[in-house]
């Protein structure tokens, strides 16, 4: 049954696997970003799920959107194997709390409905952004929404 957000609630795993995968992806994409950046990246995944155009499950959306996962970045390898030093473990624990709140619906969308993001301080304007509007900036990440 669709909820008020237009996506099927069954698209998220109620046992926490989705929140764990979301936390790992956020760690790999921007561990130093802080709570608002973590929420932003997570909101992009949820906005993609809600749109229905990027996958039917949160797992499919995350696996399709994360360049860290696709390239098997060192940060992703560390997160996926939980091979953290003490400091990284503390950061991951905080990211996990944000991910739980995102999946549980307690963390609001801080991205104004964005479905994409990029660190424009480190990388050039991506090709996919040409038909999108930049709608928010959080730390080093710029968030984009389709026109």
Answer whether residue 108 shows pLDDT above 60: yes
Domains of the chain, residue spans: 15-112
Cβ atoms 7, 52 nearer than 8 A: yes
Return d(Cα 95, Cα 22) in angstroms, integer. Answer: 9
pTM greater than 0.85: yes
Which pLDDT tens digit goes with each residue over 70-98?
Answer: 999 999 999 999 999 999 999 999 999 99
Residue of higher predicted confidence among 16 and 13: 16
Cβ atoms 144, 114 nearer than 8 A: yes
Helix (H) or strand (E) holding 138: strand 132-138
């Amino acid at each position: 049954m669709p909820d008020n957000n237009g996506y099927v609630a069954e698209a998220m795993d109620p046992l926490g696997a989705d929140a764990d995968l979301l936390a790992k992806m956020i760690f790999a994409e921007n561990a130093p970003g802080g709570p608002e950046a973590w929420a932003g990246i997570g909101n992009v995944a949820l906005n993609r799920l809600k749109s229905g155009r990027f996958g039917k499950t949160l797992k499919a959306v995350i696996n399709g959107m994360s360049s860290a996962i696709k390239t098997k970045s060192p940060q992703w390898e560390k997160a996926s194997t939980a091979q953290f030093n003490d400091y990284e473990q503390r950061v991951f624990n905080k990211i996990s709390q944000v991910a739980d709140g995102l999946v549980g619906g307690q963390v609001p969308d801080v991205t104004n409905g964005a479905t994409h993001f990029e660190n424009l301080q480190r990388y050039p304007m991506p090709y996919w952004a040409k038909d999108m509007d930049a709608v928010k900036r959080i730390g080093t990440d710029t968030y984009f929404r389709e026109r």
